[in-house]
Chains A and B, each alone.
Chain A
Amino acid sequence: DTAVSQTPKYLVTQMGNDKSIKCEQNLGHDTMYWYKQDSKKFLKIMFSYNNKELIINETVPNRFSPKSPDKAHLNLHINSLELGDSAVYFCASSQEASAWSYNEQFFGPGTRLTVL
């Protein structure tokens, strides 16, 4: 059973296009995340949703719009794609996040986005 799944695994597209990445978790977690990993392998948080409510938005361009239809899903839509958006995007989930509590994050396999 796949705990956190993402589709597609690879996404190659032209600059200016709009694309979406889907994420689903079957762990019953309350919190989901989107991370961006650049070519130097630096992993940076983009968004976090807790029970479908946005709790973290890390100065991400508003071309990126997350949507959480329910607790098990967190999708990422990107408008007007730019060359600099090329990266690997990871979805993750955990038990309910709080300011000081820690929980294990379970990561999806990643989506490699290439913008030409």
Chain B
Amino acid sequence: TQLLEQSPQFLSIQEGENLTVYCNSSSVFSSLQWYRQEPGEGPVLLVTVVTGGEVKKLKRLTFQFGDARKDSSLHITAAQPGDTGLYLCAGHRDYKYIFGTGTRLKVLA
């Protein structure tokens, strides 16, 4: 059983569209991170959210941590081809990071 389920698993959209990726768990985490991974490379941190209900914005990306610190969402406005990649959420608990199942995003020009 995966502790952090992401949805959708795959997403292919046109440039300029908006999208939301969800990261859900039945467990509470002390913090949650979002990473983006490109082919042949390791994941790169985008953001860390710590407080329940917290919202953080990074240019066209908006991240939200659920009130109960069990879930999170990533919203991308006006997606661009450069946003293409594998998006991973990771919850922190008990010294370790538990990664989500991943969302593969492809943005078509």
Give chain A's interface residues, CB within 8 Å of chain B. 4, 35, 40-45, 48, 55-56, 58, 90, 92, 97-102, 104-110
The CA-CA distance from A90 to B43 in the complex, in Å, is 9
Closest chain B CB from A87 CB (angstroms)? 14
The CA-CA distance from A92 to B88 in the complex, in Å, is 15
Size range of the interface on B?
A: 20 to 34
Q: Is the CB of A104 within 8 A of B45?
A: yes
Quick check: which of B14-22, B56-64, B76-84, B99-107 contacts chain A, the rest being far away? B99-107
Residue of B nearest to A4 (CB): B42
The CA-CA distance from A41 to B45 in the complex, in Å, is 16
Q: Return the contact of B88 from the options A43, A56, A97, A98 (Cβ within 8 A).
A: A43
Indicate whether A45 sits within 8 Å of B96 (C-beta atoms), given known contacts A90-B42, A100-B30. Answer: yes
